[in-house]
Amino acid sequence: MRQRRPARRSRVKVNRPAVGAEGSGERSAAGAKPFTIPAETFFPTQHQLKLMEMAERGETRDSSLIFDGSDEDKLYRAITFIGTRKAPGSNSRDSGNPVAKELGGLASWPVSVSYYPVAGDADTPDYQVSFDLYENGVATGLVMDYGQFALAGTLSKLEALKAESCN
């Protein structure tokens, strides 16, 4: 494994005049250059919402351009596969977890996302993420596979926030 210096701390700011428009961005780090993101780029939360909508419609595959701000102006091609809907109460991974009890009344879908760098011609993804996605957006059973190592996460706390009224 190659050792890298710790990443510099910087803030990323991306402006878009409208949803679906090209964006311009900048980092706060010294010497950082301005960059642009293509109009079809999704931010991570937008992508998660897109996957939720696709799962509800029964769609099973997606290819999206993602900018997460973690590595300069790097873009990823996210290839997503959404599995068969699990009926409420039938997600065996979470049925034994008392923290996930309130998810028991919700449907879920197994999801796998592979992140390929847009620059270059990589045949393998930089990393892959798999999880169970509930219809309310909660993800459980997270596995992040970086090829040389993998990280797994288990839901250990869930706090349902009250929805504020939209007036």
In angstroms, the Cα distances linking 56 to 102, 103, 152 are 20, 16, 26
pLDDT in tens, 67-98: 888 777 789 999 999 999 999 999 988 888 89
Which neighbouring-strand residues pair with 42?
66
What is the pTM (predicted TM-score) of this model?
0.83
Q: Provide the residue ranges of all domains of the chain, joining segments of one domain with +.
A: 41-153
Percentage of the chain exceeding pLDDT 90: 54
Q: How high is the pLDDT of residue 9?
A: 67
Nearest to 43 by CA among 76, 10, 79: 76
Torsion of CA 21, 26, 27, 31, to 10 degrees: 150
DSSP tally for the chain: helices H, then strands E: 2, 10
Q: How far apart are CA 80 and CA 102, in angstroms?
A: 27
Q: How far apart are CA 6 and CA 23, in angstroms?
A: 28
pLDDT in tens, 8-30: 567 777 888 887 788 888 877 76
Tokens of 105: 């009344």
Q: What are phi and psi of 124, to 5 degrees?
A: -120, 150
| Banded model confidence at residue 146, pLDDT cuts 50, 70, 90 | very high
